[in-house]
Amino acid sequence: MTATARPIAVYTDVDDTDPTPGIRLLEEQGFEVRVLGTRDPQEIIAGAQGATVLLPGYASVTREMIEALPELRLISLMSMGFDYVDIDAATEHGVWVTNVPGAATEEVATHALAILLSSVRQLRFYTASAVPATWNDRAETAPPRLSETTLGIIGLGKIGRELVRLARPLFGEVIGYDPMLPDTPEVRAELADLGVRRTELAEVRAAADMLSLHLPLTPQTERMVDAEFLATMPAGSVLVNVSRGGLVDHAALAEALDTGHLAGAALDVLDQEPPSADHPMLGREDVVLTPHIAYFSARTEIEYVRIQAQNAATLLATGTPDSPVNRPA
Protein backbone atom coordinates (compact mmCIF):
# COMPACT_ATOMS: atom_id res chain seq x y z
CA MET A 1 0.00 0.00 0.00
CA THR A 2 1.49 3.34 -1.01
CA ALA A 3 1.79 6.31 1.32
CA THR A 4 -1.11 8.08 -0.37
CA ALA A 5 -3.42 5.07 -0.72
CA ARG A 6 -6.47 4.94 1.48
CA PRO A 7 -6.79 1.98 3.88
CA ILE A 8 -9.36 -0.56 2.73
CA ALA A 9 -12.25 -1.84 4.85
CA VAL A 10 -14.24 -4.81 3.57
CA TYR A 11 -17.70 -5.95 4.63
CA THR A 12 -18.18 -9.66 3.92
CA ASP A 13 -21.88 -10.51 4.33
CA VAL A 14 -24.62 -8.04 5.23
CA ASP A 15 -27.65 -10.32 5.02
CA ASP A 16 -29.85 -8.81 7.73
CA THR A 17 -28.22 -5.46 8.48
CA ASP A 18 -27.95 -2.11 6.78
CA PRO A 19 -24.24 -1.19 6.76
CA THR A 20 -24.87 2.31 5.44
CA PRO A 21 -24.13 4.15 8.72
CA GLY A 22 -20.95 2.11 9.14
CA ILE A 23 -19.87 2.77 5.56
CA ARG A 24 -20.45 6.48 6.07
CA LEU A 25 -18.40 6.52 9.29
CA LEU A 26 -15.54 4.61 7.68
CA GLU A 27 -15.45 6.79 4.59
CA GLU A 28 -15.44 9.91 6.75
CA GLN A 29 -12.36 8.50 8.49
CA GLY A 30 -10.57 7.98 5.20
CA PHE A 31 -11.30 4.34 4.38
CA GLU A 32 -12.08 2.90 0.99
CA VAL A 33 -15.04 0.60 1.65
CA ARG A 34 -15.99 -2.55 -0.24
CA VAL A 35 -19.13 -4.66 0.32
CA LEU A 36 -18.72 -8.23 -0.93
CA GLY A 37 -22.08 -9.74 0.04
CA THR A 38 -20.72 -13.25 0.57
CA ARG A 39 -19.73 -15.76 3.23
CA ASP A 40 -17.70 -17.88 0.82
CA PRO A 41 -14.07 -18.03 2.03
CA GLN A 42 -12.50 -17.94 -1.42
CA GLU A 43 -14.69 -15.06 -2.56
CA ILE A 44 -13.77 -13.15 0.60
CA ILE A 45 -10.06 -13.79 0.05
CA ALA A 46 -10.31 -12.59 -3.55
CA GLY A 47 -12.39 -9.54 -2.71
CA ALA A 48 -10.46 -8.46 0.38
CA GLN A 49 -6.96 -8.32 -1.09
CA GLY A 50 -5.16 -5.28 0.29
CA ALA A 51 -7.68 -4.88 3.12
CA THR A 52 -6.63 -3.45 6.45
CA VAL A 53 -9.99 -4.19 8.07
CA LEU A 54 -12.43 -7.07 7.60
CA LEU A 55 -15.99 -6.57 8.86
CA PRO A 56 -17.84 -9.91 8.91
CA GLY A 57 -21.53 -10.44 9.48
CA TYR A 58 -21.92 -14.21 9.96
CA ALA A 59 -18.97 -15.29 7.81
CA SER A 60 -16.37 -17.45 9.53
CA VAL A 61 -12.80 -16.19 9.43
CA THR A 62 -10.31 -19.04 9.24
CA ARG A 63 -6.55 -19.30 9.48
CA GLU A 64 -6.40 -19.78 5.71
CA MET A 65 -8.23 -16.50 5.16
CA ILE A 66 -6.06 -14.59 7.62
CA GLU A 67 -2.86 -15.89 6.06
CA ALA A 68 -4.12 -14.97 2.59
CA LEU A 69 -4.67 -11.33 3.61
CA PRO A 70 -1.18 -10.12 4.60
CA GLU A 71 -2.18 -6.46 5.09
CA LEU A 72 -5.04 -7.29 7.44
CA ARG A 73 -4.80 -5.58 10.84
CA LEU A 74 -8.33 -5.89 12.23
CA ILE A 75 -11.27 -8.29 12.13
CA SER A 76 -14.13 -6.18 13.47
CA LEU A 77 -17.12 -8.30 14.45
CA MET A 78 -20.75 -7.30 14.77
CA SER A 79 -21.50 -9.66 17.66
CA MET A 80 -20.53 -10.33 21.24
CA GLY A 81 -19.42 -13.88 20.44
CA PHE A 82 -16.22 -14.50 18.50
CA ASP A 83 -16.13 -18.29 18.21
CA TYR A 84 -16.35 -18.10 14.40
CA VAL A 85 -12.92 -16.44 14.12
CA ASP A 86 -9.59 -18.25 14.50
CA ILE A 87 -8.33 -16.06 17.33
CA ASP A 88 -5.00 -17.87 17.63
CA ALA A 89 -4.23 -17.34 13.94
CA ALA A 90 -5.22 -13.68 14.15
CA THR A 91 -3.03 -13.10 17.18
CA GLU A 92 -0.06 -14.86 15.60
CA HIS A 93 -0.33 -12.67 12.48
CA GLY A 94 -0.69 -9.38 14.33
CA VAL A 95 -4.41 -9.00 13.65
CA TRP A 96 -6.74 -7.49 16.22
CA VAL A 97 -10.20 -9.03 16.74
CA THR A 98 -12.97 -6.91 18.24
CA ASN A 99 -16.56 -7.49 19.28
CA VAL A 100 -19.48 -5.31 20.43
CA PRO A 101 -19.59 -5.75 24.22
CA GLY A 102 -22.60 -4.39 26.02
CA ALA A 103 -24.46 -3.34 22.89
CA ALA A 104 -27.37 -5.71 23.54
CA THR A 105 -27.12 -6.44 27.26
CA GLU A 106 -30.65 -5.28 28.01
CA GLU A 107 -32.15 -6.98 24.96
CA VAL A 108 -30.54 -10.39 25.55
CA ALA A 109 -31.36 -10.45 29.26
CA THR A 110 -34.94 -9.40 28.56
CA HIS A 111 -35.29 -12.09 25.89
CA ALA A 112 -33.90 -14.76 28.22
CA LEU A 113 -36.52 -13.87 30.81
CA ALA A 114 -39.27 -13.68 28.18
CA ILE A 115 -38.68 -17.15 26.73
CA LEU A 116 -38.11 -18.58 30.21
CA LEU A 117 -41.50 -17.28 31.34
CA SER A 118 -43.09 -18.51 28.11
CA SER A 119 -41.77 -22.01 28.81
CA VAL A 120 -42.62 -22.10 32.51
CA ARG A 121 -46.10 -20.65 31.99
CA GLN A 122 -46.68 -23.13 29.12
CA LEU A 123 -47.73 -20.41 26.70
CA ARG A 124 -47.38 -22.60 23.61
CA PHE A 125 -50.00 -24.96 25.01
CA TYR A 126 -52.37 -22.30 26.25
CA THR A 127 -52.27 -20.02 23.21
CA ALA A 128 -53.03 -23.07 21.04
CA SER A 129 -55.93 -24.09 23.31
CA ALA A 130 -57.51 -20.63 23.40
CA VAL A 131 -60.34 -21.59 21.04
CA PRO A 132 -63.88 -22.61 22.00
CA ALA A 133 -63.40 -26.37 21.60
CA THR A 134 -60.38 -26.57 23.95
CA TRP A 135 -60.90 -23.47 26.11
CA ASN A 136 -60.98 -25.45 29.35
CA ASP A 137 -58.09 -27.80 28.53
CA ARG A 138 -55.18 -27.85 30.93
CA ALA A 139 -51.61 -29.03 30.47
CA GLU A 140 -50.68 -32.35 32.07
CA THR A 141 -48.61 -30.58 34.74
CA ALA A 142 -49.49 -27.29 36.37
CA PRO A 143 -46.77 -24.62 36.24
CA PRO A 144 -44.91 -23.84 39.46
CA ARG A 145 -45.27 -20.61 41.41
CA LEU A 146 -42.11 -18.68 40.55
CA SER A 147 -41.61 -17.35 44.08
CA GLU A 148 -41.23 -20.96 45.20
CA THR A 149 -38.51 -21.76 42.68
CA THR A 150 -34.79 -21.17 42.23
CA LEU A 151 -33.27 -19.52 39.17
CA GLY A 152 -29.71 -20.55 38.35
CA ILE A 153 -27.44 -18.49 36.13
CA ILE A 154 -24.19 -19.83 34.68
CA GLY A 155 -22.12 -16.83 33.63
CA LEU A 156 -22.36 -13.63 35.67
CA GLY A 157 -21.04 -11.17 33.11
CA LYS A 158 -23.01 -8.12 31.98
CA ILE A 159 -25.93 -10.10 30.57
CA GLY A 160 -26.07 -12.59 33.42
CA ARG A 161 -26.10 -9.78 35.98
CA GLU A 162 -28.77 -7.88 34.05
CA LEU A 163 -30.91 -11.03 34.09
CA VAL A 164 -30.44 -11.20 37.85
CA ARG A 165 -31.64 -7.60 38.16
CA LEU A 166 -34.74 -8.28 36.07
CA ALA A 167 -35.62 -11.68 37.50
CA ARG A 168 -34.75 -11.36 41.18
CA PRO A 169 -38.17 -10.00 42.24
CA LEU A 170 -39.90 -12.99 40.65
CA PHE A 171 -37.99 -15.95 42.08
CA GLY A 172 -37.56 -17.37 45.55
CA GLU A 173 -33.78 -17.43 45.12
CA VAL A 174 -31.26 -16.64 42.41
CA ILE A 175 -27.94 -18.47 42.46
CA GLY A 176 -25.04 -18.13 40.05
CA TYR A 177 -21.70 -19.50 38.96
CA ASP A 178 -18.92 -17.86 36.98
CA PRO A 179 -15.36 -19.22 36.94
CA MET A 180 -14.01 -16.08 35.25
CA LEU A 181 -15.50 -13.43 37.53
CA PRO A 182 -12.96 -12.23 40.14
CA ASP A 183 -13.71 -12.94 43.78
CA THR A 184 -13.05 -9.46 45.16
CA PRO A 185 -14.85 -7.42 47.84
CA GLU A 186 -16.23 -5.15 45.12
CA VAL A 187 -17.65 -8.06 43.10
CA ARG A 188 -19.07 -9.70 46.22
CA ALA A 189 -20.76 -6.45 47.18
CA GLU A 190 -22.22 -5.98 43.69
CA LEU A 191 -23.61 -9.52 43.58
CA ALA A 192 -25.08 -9.11 47.06
CA ASP A 193 -26.76 -5.86 46.03
CA LEU A 194 -28.24 -7.58 42.97
CA GLY A 195 -29.54 -10.43 45.13
CA VAL A 196 -27.66 -13.37 43.63
CA ARG A 197 -25.81 -15.92 45.72
CA ARG A 198 -22.59 -17.04 44.06
CA THR A 199 -21.78 -20.70 44.44
CA GLU A 200 -20.19 -23.65 42.65
CA LEU A 201 -21.35 -25.15 39.37
CA ALA A 202 -22.42 -28.41 41.01
CA GLU A 203 -24.87 -26.62 43.29
CA VAL A 204 -26.27 -24.40 40.54
CA ARG A 205 -27.09 -27.26 38.21
CA ALA A 206 -28.44 -29.46 41.03
CA ALA A 207 -30.57 -26.79 42.72
CA ALA A 208 -31.88 -24.58 39.90
CA ASP A 209 -35.46 -25.19 38.80
CA MET A 210 -34.72 -22.90 35.84
CA LEU A 211 -31.16 -22.70 34.53
CA SER A 212 -29.97 -19.97 32.16
CA LEU A 213 -26.66 -20.11 30.25
CA HIS A 214 -24.59 -16.95 29.69
CA LEU A 215 -21.15 -18.15 28.61
CA PRO A 216 -18.96 -17.77 25.52
CA LEU A 217 -18.34 -20.80 23.34
CA THR A 218 -14.78 -22.02 23.91
CA PRO A 219 -13.09 -25.43 23.77
CA GLN A 220 -13.76 -25.64 27.52
CA THR A 221 -17.48 -24.83 27.31
CA GLU A 222 -18.37 -26.63 24.07
CA ARG A 223 -21.18 -29.13 24.78
CA MET A 224 -20.76 -28.61 28.51
CA VAL A 225 -24.49 -29.27 28.85
CA ASP A 226 -24.36 -32.94 27.98
CA ALA A 227 -26.27 -36.01 29.15
CA GLU A 228 -24.38 -36.15 32.44
CA PHE A 229 -24.96 -32.46 33.12
CA LEU A 230 -28.68 -32.72 32.32
CA ALA A 231 -29.07 -35.78 34.54
CA THR A 232 -27.92 -33.76 37.57
CA MET A 233 -30.54 -31.05 37.01
CA PRO A 234 -33.72 -31.31 39.09
CA ALA A 235 -36.63 -33.28 37.66
CA GLY A 236 -39.07 -30.93 35.97
CA SER A 237 -36.53 -28.16 35.44
CA VAL A 238 -36.17 -25.84 32.44
CA LEU A 239 -33.02 -25.01 30.48
CA VAL A 240 -32.56 -21.57 28.90
CA ASN A 241 -29.86 -20.71 26.35
CA VAL A 242 -29.46 -17.32 24.67
CA SER A 243 -25.65 -17.53 24.41
CA ARG A 244 -24.21 -20.01 21.92
CA GLY A 245 -25.85 -23.16 20.61
CA GLY A 246 -22.62 -25.12 20.88
CA LEU A 247 -22.83 -25.04 24.68
CA VAL A 248 -25.54 -27.72 24.52
CA ASP A 249 -25.63 -31.31 23.26
CA HIS A 250 -29.06 -31.09 21.65
CA ALA A 251 -29.45 -34.84 21.19
CA ALA A 252 -28.94 -35.25 24.92
CA LEU A 253 -31.38 -32.40 25.59
CA ALA A 254 -34.00 -34.05 23.39
CA GLU A 255 -33.56 -37.28 25.35
CA ALA A 256 -33.95 -35.45 28.68
CA LEU A 257 -37.16 -33.86 27.38
CA ASP A 258 -38.47 -37.12 25.91
CA THR A 259 -38.06 -38.93 29.24
CA GLY A 260 -39.73 -36.09 31.10
CA HIS A 261 -36.69 -35.38 33.24
CA LEU A 262 -36.72 -31.79 31.95
CA ALA A 263 -40.07 -30.04 31.66
CA GLY A 264 -38.95 -27.73 28.90
CA ALA A 265 -36.27 -25.73 27.16
CA ALA A 266 -36.20 -22.12 26.02
CA LEU A 267 -33.65 -21.51 23.28
CA ASP A 268 -32.60 -18.62 21.07
CA VAL A 269 -29.55 -20.40 19.65
CA LEU A 270 -28.77 -23.80 18.17
CA ASP A 271 -25.57 -25.65 17.30
CA GLN A 272 -26.52 -25.38 13.61
CA GLU A 273 -28.00 -22.16 12.24
CA PRO A 274 -30.15 -22.30 10.24
CA PRO A 275 -30.95 -25.79 11.53
CA SER A 276 -31.51 -28.80 9.33
CA ALA A 277 -35.11 -29.93 8.92
CA ASP A 278 -34.49 -32.89 11.24
CA HIS A 279 -32.84 -30.93 14.06
CA PRO A 280 -34.04 -32.45 17.37
CA MET A 281 -35.20 -29.09 18.75
CA LEU A 282 -37.61 -28.26 15.93
CA GLY A 283 -41.35 -28.70 16.21
CA ARG A 284 -41.44 -29.67 19.88
CA GLU A 285 -44.26 -28.56 22.16
CA ASP A 286 -41.87 -28.51 25.12
CA VAL A 287 -39.33 -26.20 23.45
CA VAL A 288 -39.71 -22.45 23.06
CA LEU A 289 -37.43 -21.61 20.13
CA THR A 290 -36.56 -18.26 18.56
CA PRO A 291 -34.15 -17.75 15.63
CA HIS A 292 -31.15 -16.09 17.31
CA ILE A 293 -32.87 -12.74 17.76
CA ALA A 294 -32.31 -12.10 21.49
CA TYR A 295 -30.00 -9.20 20.61
CA PHE A 296 -32.46 -7.55 18.23
CA SER A 297 -34.06 -4.16 18.77
CA ALA A 298 -34.35 -0.84 16.98
CA ARG A 299 -31.43 0.41 19.09
CA THR A 300 -29.11 -2.54 18.49
CA GLU A 301 -29.69 -2.36 14.74
CA ILE A 302 -27.91 0.99 14.94
CA GLU A 303 -25.38 0.24 17.66
CA TYR A 304 -24.00 -3.00 16.23
CA VAL A 305 -23.17 -1.33 12.92
CA ARG A 306 -21.77 1.79 14.61
CA ILE A 307 -19.52 -0.04 17.09
CA GLN A 308 -18.21 -2.40 14.41
CA ALA A 309 -17.16 0.53 12.24
CA GLN A 310 -15.91 2.62 15.16
CA ASN A 311 -13.43 -0.08 16.13
CA ALA A 312 -11.85 0.30 12.69
CA ALA A 313 -11.83 4.09 12.93
CA THR A 314 -10.20 3.99 16.36
CA LEU A 315 -7.55 1.54 15.16
CA LEU A 316 -6.68 3.89 12.32
CA ALA A 317 -6.51 6.89 14.66
CA THR A 318 -4.70 5.36 17.65
CA GLY A 319 -3.29 1.99 16.63
CA THR A 320 -5.54 0.15 19.10
CA PRO A 321 -9.27 -0.62 18.66
CA ASP A 322 -11.86 0.09 21.34
CA SER A 323 -13.02 -3.41 22.26
CA PRO A 324 -10.36 -6.04 21.48
CA VAL A 325 -10.76 -9.68 22.46
CA ASN A 326 -7.10 -10.49 21.78
CA ARG A 327 -3.67 -8.91 22.06
CA PRO A 328 -1.71 -9.41 18.82
CA ALA A 329 2.02 -9.97 18.95
Query: Going edge to edge, which strands form the sheet with 237-241?
Result: 197-198, 173-177, 150-154, 210-213, 237-241, 262-267, 287-289
Distance CA(148)–CA(227), nearest Å, equals 27
Phi, psi of 267 (to 5 degrees): -130, 135
- Among residues 6, 39, 261, 292, the one annotated as catalytic is 292
- Among residues 73, 111, 124, 244, the one annotated as catalytic is 244
CA distance from start to end of the chain: 22
Is 273 one of the catalytic residues? yes
Residue type, 285: E
Phi-psi region of 276 (alpha: psi -120 to 50; beta: other; left: phi over 0): beta
Distance CA(236)–CA(227), nearest Å, equals 15
Q: Looking at the chain, which runs of residues are DSSP E strands?
A: 8-11, 32-35, 53-55, 74-76, 96-98, 150-154, 173-177, 197-198, 210-213, 237-241, 262-267, 287-289
Is 299 one of the catalytic residues? no
Distance CA(278)–CA(117), nearest Å, equals 26
Phi-psi region of 143 (alpha: psi -120 to 50; beta: other; left: phi over 0): beta
- The set of catalytic residues is 244, 273, 292
